[in-house]
Amino acid sequence: MPSSTVQEVAPLSARSLHGAPASVVRPAYDRARLRNGIVHLGLGAFHRAHQACYTEAVIAQGDLRWGILGVSLRDARVSELLSAQDNLYSVTERHGDEARTRVVGALKGALFARKELGQVIAAIADPAVAIVTSTVTEKGYSQSPATADLDLDDADVRHDIAHPDSPRTTLGVLAAGIRRRPAGAPLTLVCCDNMAGNGDTLRKLLVQYADQFDTRLARRIETEIGCPNSMVDRIVPAATQASLAWAEARLVLRDEAAIVCEPFTQWVIEDRFAGPRPAWEDAGALLTSDVRPYQAMKLRLLNGTHSAIAYAGQLCGLETVADAMAHPLVGGFARRLMLEDLCATVAAPAGYDVRAYCHDLLKRFENPTLQHRTQQIAMDGTQKVPVRWLPALRESLAAGIERPQLERALAGWLHYLAAGRGDSGAPLVISDPGAAALAACMRETGNDTDAAKAALAHRPVFGTQPWPSAFADRLARHLCALRQGGMTALLAT
């Protein structure tokens, strides 16, 4: 009998890319001539599927100044595997049966800050680099949730203040690079994390950090460095063995850094750059004078509903956002939360139809092929909830308006943290450094009324201003329903 041999698939590299199917879009420019104009901190999938794709389009139009040096701050693996692939990776946009794959060449290098710190600092100091972008997650900026200022109690921040030349934090790395930049070399930091006023926040924290050890540096950051606010949007699920295998079938090459994400992408950036920038508008970005209405719309409607789906989904044993949207109770709850409660709190950016935006969002959430895990979105709730839900809730309560779906979402999250188990009794995996303290203060109480009050008094999440007692009572009733019948019972009422 003839023996069947399994064909080994070659790893993705500059050389093997020639053998990929013709349908795979690839860099048509000379990568050897690409210069390094951008440093990016936080080399996760989101950056590679978002800002890097906008930059790739600008480079493809012939502006070779904007090669990206990607820096991983925590995870050595991503920079290692990208380096092994000549810094190439693929992005497949997928919705239902439609898919489009391209290989991105914009990345010029991939470094791991803990190992190659000198190179990272030198790159930020290089006058040819005009922009540093960042996606380090909400918790990556060393901000104290209680005060919104620099977290001076954080061990890594204290380390960096004592040793500013061998920093560990995002702020420390940025400041060390800026400190070495020659005068008169303009630099812009573009924060691309999901925070309201993200650029303003980054500048404030960086100035507070620099003020601890070098006041001249702090003044320089205040006056010379550009920090535009930006709104970023694209749903990019974390890779799985299945998504890597699926990308491999399209490429006929093995890409360990392959991304499978939705086709939709949006980037709105304030046009406040200290120096040159890529013509990202030619790649579809919107450069505008005020990003705040776009940020509020996106953070409340997309991310706010996403978080509610994540906790309800986790409690009801639903693995993905699409599963949650197809669930009669959870899907209905998500739609009402977005269309009734959250939509009413959003002022439309000029020329925007917010209801049409919501309907498009719901279709994006229903994308059956995305496999976006509720557990991924559920991470770091103590950082996300204060941005995504609480401003809308505060404003509404101050105007005497109840938001029944949003209040149920909040109760669901608190129950998820305090119970640590889903409706079926199965233990939940909770990944959030701030969660234990909030859960503990609820568990210390003897009844739902005290648990609701204890949660609302937890300042790092709920702030210093008191919450109305009638709201606390409603929250307590929801907690009671959750304790007795789980999330399905709460949503069924």
Cβ-based neighbours of 252, under 8 Å, separated by 6 or more: 9, 19, 20, 21
Q: Rounded to the nearest 10 degrees, how much is the dihedral formed by the CA atoms of 457, 458, 464, 469?
A: -20
Nearest alpha-carbon partner for 209 in 222, 199, 192: 222
365 vs 467 by CB, closer to ligand CS2: 365
Neighbours of 279 (CB within 10 A): 15
Q: Which two tokens stand for residue 258?
A: 């392959």
Which DSSP string corresponds to 106-166? Answer: -EEEEEETTTSHHHHHHHHH-TT--EEEE---GGGG-B-TTTSSB-TT-HHHHHHHH-TTS
Q: Rounded to the nearest 10 degrees, how much is the dihedral formed by the CA atoms of 27, 31, 36, 41?
A: 50
167 vs 304 by CB, closer to ligand CS2: 304
105 vs 145 by CB, closer to ligand CS2: 145
43 vs 377 by CB, closer to ligand CS2: 377
Q: Which two tokens stand for residue 37?
A: 């104009």
107 vs 377 by CB, closer to ligand CS2: 377
194 vs 198 by CB, closer to ligand CS2: 194
By CB under 6 A, name the binding residues for ligand CS2: 194, 233-235, 302-303, 306, 376-377, 384
373 vs 415 by CB, closer to ligand CS2: 373
88 vs 283 by CB, closer to ligand CS2: 283
Q: What are the strands, taking DSSP E only, across 216-338? A: 230-233, 259-261, 266-270, 286-288
Min dist. Cβ of residue 5 to ligand CS2 (A):
41
Judge contact between 369 and 96, C-beta under 8 A: yes
Min dist. Cβ of residue 286 to ligand CS2 (A):
15
Judge contact between 78 and 45, C-beta under 8 A: no
Min dist. Cβ of residue 375 to ligand CS2 (A):
10
151 vs 233 by CB, closer to ligand CS2: 233
Q: CB nearest ligand CS2: which residue? A: 306
**Helix (H) / strand (E) containing 108:** strand 107-112
Min dist. Cβ of residue 237 to ligand CS2 (A):
8
Min dist. Cβ of residue 313 to ligand CS2 (A):
12
40 vs 234 by CB, closer to ligand CS2: 234
Min dist. Cβ of residue 324 to ligand CS2 (A):
13
| Residue 357, phi-psi category: left (phi > 0), alpha (psi -120 to 50), beta (remainder) | alpha
16 vs 367 by CB, closer to ligand CS2: 367
Give whole-number Cα distances, 173 to 20, 116, 163, 443, in Å: 38, 12, 11, 39
Judge contact between 297 and 348, C-beta under 8 A: yes
Judge contact between 203 and 221, C-beta under 8 A: yes
Q: What whole-number distance in Å separates Cα of residue 382 and Cα of residue 121?
A: 31
Backbone torsions φ then ψ of 368, nearest 5 degrees: -75, -15
Q: What whole-number distance in Å separates Cα of residue 172 and Cα of residue 157?
A: 8
Judge contact between 483 and 415, C-beta under 8 A: yes
Min dist. Cβ of residue 306 to ligand CS2 (A):
4
123 vs 285 by CB, closer to ligand CS2: 285
Q: What whole-number distance in Å separates Cα of residue 452 and Cα of residue 436?
A: 16
Min dist. Cβ of residue 465 to ligand CS2 (A):
25
In DSSP terms, which residues pair with 95 in a beta bridge?
98
Min dist. Cβ of residue 320 to ligand CS2 (A):
12
Q: What whole-number distance in Å separates Cα of residue 186 and Cα of residue 439?
A: 45
Min dist. Cβ of residue 220 to ligand CS2 (A):
32
Judge contact between 133 and 190, C-beta under 8 A: yes
**Start-to-end Cα distance in the chain:** 65
Min dist. Cβ of residue 304 to ligand CS2 (A):
9
Min dist. Cβ of residue 239 to ligand CS2 (A):
14
